[in-house]
Structure 1
């Protein structure tokens, strides 16, 4: 392994701090786009080349599995080559910092916060119309069916779920495998978002991406709930109610992972999240997370953002402690 366990922990810590401080600068996006866009381009190409409607479901599922393996192979190889080239060309410490800055582009702490703040600001500035427009950027459900409470619930649910998917999961795999772990995770997560849908086109071809994404998010979703509960305890939230909601409600969510951070946040904030929702024109039944108020307001949304910032800080603190232990043990 090119990156040692201690280096993987330190790389993840620096990446988290860099992304929290600076995000992904728009000037860089305009110049070279974004790594997830590159990954998405490869997934789209594989989808067009391999996902043929005349094939049986068995063969489409097989091709989708091979496409996922090819995607992971390309991403892992690119990450390992970057490890080798930068560590050799720049030296151990400079190379590690450069790798960490590259890895920071694959976290979503700052961008997620900005998107949810936009929902609260839209509600405050333009009422329901502004909230619907802003929340449509971060959720898949039909905003026309959402009242103000529905907009706020949707934004908090997205905040909780994406804290797990966009922040905790890449950090978890980064701590284990360094840049390759972060990039590999983002490849699977992007594939799930693009082709892991239960539609006639992708139900078979995207089966492997959807199932594998569920598996690799299992540890992160539980950790995300834990970080939310710790953050609630440190900031005066009701962490006990959050814990009860996780124990009682997380398993009733239609996702095997999203219910954990959503239930933790719902209980800690005294709210009721999830429940039946409309995607497109289809009503999707789902269990409620938490037993508090369903009449969520923009003020509750800002409370959720404060809890989210504290949970991000808790995760950074945990990774910092692990990195310090790793350096002392493996230097």
Structure 2
């Protein structure tokens, strides 16, 4: 049942996305999780506490952030399965945990902005999807940032929630999304969150391990099918570079994308005025990335995403046949 729900959710969300009217009316699960996380951060993360106490309270906060929404989702899913068309309704609800359509739209908007409005408009567009300092990015850096975001968010925003939906149904998908939102909000090495957000950051690393590897594989396979992409280069880049990334997960899809497109991604980047040193993913021309490369990356992403949907479809057929 969870596999079928995941397959249906992927297919529906790819076409419909998350309607803007629905977001305006009720928000989005990420905004709901965000309110809970902000509340717990204000109440439990006290600057007067020792790091050990803050780390302990961070563990408590993470348990609440993950278990409360997951328990509600499990109750709702159990209720829905007992009514006609309940499975379809569950699948439609689960589409809110995926971001196939919006991810492509946001990344494509960067290429469109660069082509129609130049560097300034490109910086504005890319600032909506990355956390680095946009005013320090030249045209090539804007393009690299968009491609890196596409690769990493394909893993975090599509493959990982689909994976946990397939494992644990709606509750599994909700638990993943809540934990991933917690990491994005409090899992930073800042004075306020280094101790309190430790559990959120480590847990997010763990739950993204399988999806990041699967994402890299999907990109490599997609490179076989996309004209001009280099599947062999993608595979070699993953094997050589993925583990050099400061993140245990982000390097896998980024290296695969870099190798497939013949680019060099990652490397030193500036966040809030702080330069973060990171290894290069891929061996391509780092200073020759253009908006056309963003569009090449999008083609690769769309094929890899279809392969993901096909994978779940094949599993559904196998399970039904068995």
Match of 1:125 in 2: 116
Aligned length: 320
Runs of 4+ residues deviating >4 angstroms: none
Asked whether 1:31 is paired with 2:25, we answer yes
In structure 2, runs of 5+ residues without a counterpart are: none
Asked whether 1:59 is paired with 2:53, we answer yes
Looking at structure 1, the residues matched to 10 and 203 of structure 2 have their Cα atoms a distance apart, in angstroms, of 24
Looking at structure 1, the residues matched to 289 and 34 of structure 2 have their Cα atoms a distance apart, in angstroms, of 35
Query: 1:113, CA displacement in angstroms?
Result: 0.4
Looking at structure 2, the residues matched to 28 and 302 of structure 1 have their Cα atoms a distance apart, in angstroms, of 29
Query: 1:159, CA displacement in angstroms?
Result: 0.3
Asked whether 1:289 is paired with 2:273, we answer no
Query: 1:327, CA displacement in angstroms?
Result: 2.0
Match of 2:222 in 1: 231
Match of 1:165 in 2: 156
| TM-score, with length taken from structure 2 | 0.98
Aligned with 1:17 (options 11, 29, 32)? 11
Query: 1:189, CA displacement in angstroms?
Result: 0.2
1:111-150 alignment runs, 5 A limit: 111-150=102-141
Match of 2:296 in 1: 303
Asked whether 1:264 is paired with 2:256, we answer yes
Looking at structure 2, the residues matched to 43 and 312 of structure 1 have their Cα atoms a distance apart, in angstroms, of 30
- Secondary structure at 2:278 match in 1: coil
Query: 1:84, CA displacement in angstroms?
Result: 1.6
Looking at structure 1, the residues matched to 90 and 30 of structure 2 have their Cα atoms a distance apart, in angstroms, of 16
Looking at structure 1, the residues matched to 294 and 162 of structure 2 have their Cα atoms a distance apart, in angstroms, of 25
Looking at structure 1, the residues matched to 223 and 201 of structure 2 have their Cα atoms a distance apart, in angstroms, of 31
Match of 1:247 in 2: 239
Match of 1:78 in 2: 72
Match of 1:323 in 2: 316
- Provide Cα deviations, 1:48-102, integer angstroms capped at 9, x if missing partner: 11111100000100000011111222111111111121112x23xx101100000
Aligned with 2:2 (options 5, 8, 11)? 8
Match of 2:35 in 1: 41
